[in-house]
Amino acid sequence: MKALVYHGPNNPVFEDKPKPVIQKNTDAIVKISKTTICGTDLHILKGDVPTVVDGRILGHEGVGIIDEVGSGVSNFKKGDHVLISCITSCGRCRSCKKQMYSHCENGGWILGNTIDGTQAEFVRIPYADTSLHHIPHGLEEEALVMLSDILPTGFEVGVLNGQVRLGDIVAIVGAGPVGMAALLTAQFYTPAEIIMIDIDANRLELSKKFGATQTIDSSAGNERVIQKVMELTEGRGVDVVIEAVGIPATFQLCQHIVKAGGHIANVGVHGKSVELHLEKLWGHNVTITTGLVDTYTIPVLLRTVQSKKLMPQQLITHYFKLSEIMKAYHTFSNAAKEKALKVIIENDL
Ligand code: NAD
Ligand code: ZN
Ligand code: ZN
């Protein structure tokens, strides 16, 4: 089969690999119908993720059709239409018992990381019973690709950890796919205002279509953003600020614009240490949360897509075939220039 393979920093190759086979009786083999590229894949390609070794097939998102199941899989059979969670969970360990699947002792984020991933014709999914979801009949596949990772990430680590409530003023720093997913799902709770902050004018414009009530271009630096947020909030700051970038400057910004009693929900993956201004925050009753996505909300998100309360297909800007995956990577890595948010890659092989 063909697959997108990591061969060290800046060296992805679309090449032949053996078709995966069942290794344990709890595995399933899924024929990929649609997959996508995540910002994390770009981090891997820069060499930022040392657990990914030469020869690894990338990708941790996708939908497909079950091709084969091990004898221990009871919930799925050949031909079933499935959504793949970016997090693999055994369902039995201590972390899984607490719904903290990201820390599953036998899984977690392994797809396209420590085992071969979804940017291929076929993928092996361990613990299939607890790592796959049935796709309800009649639902559009490409919308559901957004539910493998970015929607649960924005929702669980941003909106739910940040405790967005009716009437809140919410700020989201970062209008990438994850920030946009937080924007879409924050609206379940009817906040009064959602302020999107980014340096990319095109993404800010797009965020207005998705429900942002205010946008702030932060390319002139944090000072101007802080001033603008204070003007919008009568000097109080925001109830919830969701950090969806992952650099020191944006986490700093969050600390300046959160109001007393407010929440900072960090979603961004940070590679550098960040200053925490406890001398300012200590008396402000501020709650700071962090998290790795567990994807425990995939079933509820599926239902909201089914009832059209959530329309994740809005996040898709480009379409490619699996045979054109190198072109898809090129577009996605030049997102600002190409005006790209999420790309869909359809298996044409
Ligand atoms: P992305 O790179 O597509 O988006 C980041 C956005 O931040 C871009 O729109 C960019 O223009 C903007 N930005 C950059 N510098 C900025 C600045 N100084 N001020 C304001 N905006 C700025 O990434 P994404 O895919 O949307 O992911 C967002 C973050 O979430 C990443 O750090 C990613 O690794 C992380 N993530 C975390 C989890 C988790 O489980 N916690 C899961 C998936 C992704
Ligand atoms: Zn991802
Ligand atoms: Zn587990």
Rg over alpha carbons for the chain, rounded to the nearest Å, is: 20
Q: Say whether pLDDT at 271 is over 90.
A: no
Q: What is the pLDDT of residue 14?
A: 98
**Residue identifier of the C-alpha nearest atom 32 of ligand 1:** 268
* Cα-to-chain-centroid distance, residue 277: 28
pLDDT category, 117, cuts 50, 70, 90? very high
Q: Domain ends where: 265, 289, 313? A: 289
Residue 294, CA distances (Å) to 98, 153, 189, 234 in order: 10, 8, 21, 36
> DSSP code of 149?
T
Q: Domain ends where: 274, 289, 304? A: 289
Three-state secondary-structure class, residue 68: strand
Pocket probe mutation, ligand 1, options 195, 198, 252, max atoms within 8 Å of Cβ: 198
**Is pTM beyond 0.85 here?**
yes
Rounded distance from Cα 152 to ligand 1 centre (Å): 15
**Which protein residues have their CB within 5 A of the ion that is ligand 3?**
89-90, 93, 96, 104
Number of domains within the chain: 2
Q: Residue 81: CB within 6 Å of ligand 1? A: no
Q: What is the pLDDT of residue 19?
A: 98
pLDDT category, 202, cuts 50, 70, 90? very high
pLDDT category, 309, cuts 50, 70, 90? very high
Pocket probe mutation, ligand 1, options 42, 161, 178, max atoms within 8 Å of Cβ: 178
Q: Domain ends where: 289, 306, 338? A: 289
CA angle 312, 87, 138 (to 5 degrees): 40
Q: What is the pLDDT of residue 330?
A: 97
pLDDT digit string, tens, across residues 247-266: 999 999 999 999 999 999 99
Ligand nearest to the CA of 108: 3
- The label of the residue with tokens 């919410």 reads 170
Whether residue 177 sits in one domain with residue 249: yes
CATH of the domain at 104: 3.90.180.10
Whether residue 230 sits in one domain with residue 139: no
Whether residue 71 sits in one domain with residue 14: yes
Q: Say whether pLDDT at 138 is over 90.
A: no
Query: In 199-325, at which residue ranges do the beta strands (DSSP E only) sit?
Result: 214-217, 238-243, 258-266, 287-289, 316-321
Q: Say whether pLDDT at 137 is over 90.
A: no
Rounded distance from Cα 283 to ligand 1 centre (Å): 29
Q: Looking at residues 217-240, what average pLDDT do you find?
A: 96
Q: What is the pLDDT of residue 140?
A: 87
Ligand nearest to the CA of 178: 1
Percent of the chain at pLDDT > 70 equals 100
Confirm if 300 and 307 have CB atoms less than 8 A apart: no
Can you tell me the distance from the alpha carbon of 310 to that of 304, in angstroms, rounded to the nearest whole number? 5
Rounded distance from Cα 246 to ligand 1 centre (Å): 6
Q: What is the pLDDT of residue 189?
A: 98
Q: What is the mean pLDDT of the chain?
A: 96
CATH of the domain at 157: 3.40.50.720
Atom of ligand 1 nearest to the CA of 200: 11
Q: What is the pLDDT of residue 237?
A: 98
pLDDT digit string, tens, across residues 43-84: 899 988 899 999 999 999 999 999 999 999 999 999 999 999
pLDDT category, 294, cuts 50, 70, 90? very high
Whether residue 135 sits in one domain with residue 18: yes
Whether residue 118 sits in one domain with residue 55: yes
Whether residue 266 sits in one domain with residue 213: yes
Domain that holds residue 56: 2-149+294-346
pLDDT digit string, tens, across residues 27-47: 999 999 999 999 999 989 998
CA angle 167, 171, 177 (to 5 degrees): 115
Q: Looking at residues 125-146, what average pLDDT do you find?
A: 95
Whether residue 107 sits in one domain with residue 47: yes
Q: What is the pLDDT of residue 134?
A: 97
**How many Å is the maximal CA-CA distance in the chain?**
62
pLDDT category, 121, cuts 50, 70, 90? very high
Whether residue 304 sits in one domain with residue 239: no
**Residue identifier of the C-alpha nearest atom 40 of ligand 1:** 292
**Residue identifier of the C-alpha nearest atom 9 of ligand 1:** 176
Three-state secondary-structure class, residue 192: coil
Atom of ligand 1 nearest to the CA of 39: 25
Whether residue 215 sits in one domain with residue 161: yes
**Residue identifier of the C-alpha nearest atom 20 of ligand 1:** 198
Whether residue 234 sits in one domain with residue 341: no
Q: What is the pLDDT of residue 168?
A: 98
> DSSP code of 208?
H
